[in-house]
Amino acid sequence: MTEGTVRQKWTLTQEAFDRLLLSFGDDRDSGGTKYLEIRSNLTRFFEWRGCPFPEDHADETFNRIAKRVAEGEEIQNPSGYAMGVARLLVLEIVKGRHREQLALNEMTSTSSELSAEPDDAEERIGCLRTCLSGLSIENRQLITEYYEGEKGDKIQNRKKLVEKLGIPVNTLRMRALRLRDRLQVCVEDCLSRA
């Protein structure tokens, strides 16, 4: 993929969902019954692993399976296959949490540096405003709403963002992480020029 191209995210279509159900049973009805059974197990699996939004992760698991079925893969054991995909998704979630925690720790250390040097803090804020103005309106709203609020309010804001954008929570986290990284590089570049 070239640097300028954007990778298109695969989305579940009605046809892909129908094929998924048929791969779970002899017909759409028996496949639907199996789907509900597996979805319930997946939701519990993600809950037990302490994953936020377990239903969303169960849906993401099915999206990944549906994509594979649409690409022609045959599934012999739907329950086992789904659990295998779910285990891989949990690993991605854990890695994402780790990256997020590192980023938060870095932000905390940066904010303590800001409070130690008031003159530098004003420059940083000015650079941050400049860098934020360089983002598209959608990205600027996403990053400000993502970090808005404290504890419970922040969680509610992120749930609203997930609903508003119609994306899985992990996709939201990754977008926010990428935007924050872009802003950090921009601010550091701005400060080095100042």
CATH number listed for the domain at residues 117-193? 1.10.10
Q: What is the pTM of this model?
A: 0.51
Determine the average pLDDT of the residues in 123-139. Answer: 87
For tokens 């998924």, the residue is 20
Q: What is the pLDDT of residue 101?
A: 77
Residue 85, pLDDT > 90, answer yes
Please state the separation of Cα 80 from the chain's center in Å: 25
Residue 2, pLDDT > 60, answer no
Eight-state DSSP code of residue 147: T
Q: Give all strands (DSSP E) within the chain, no chain letters.
A: none
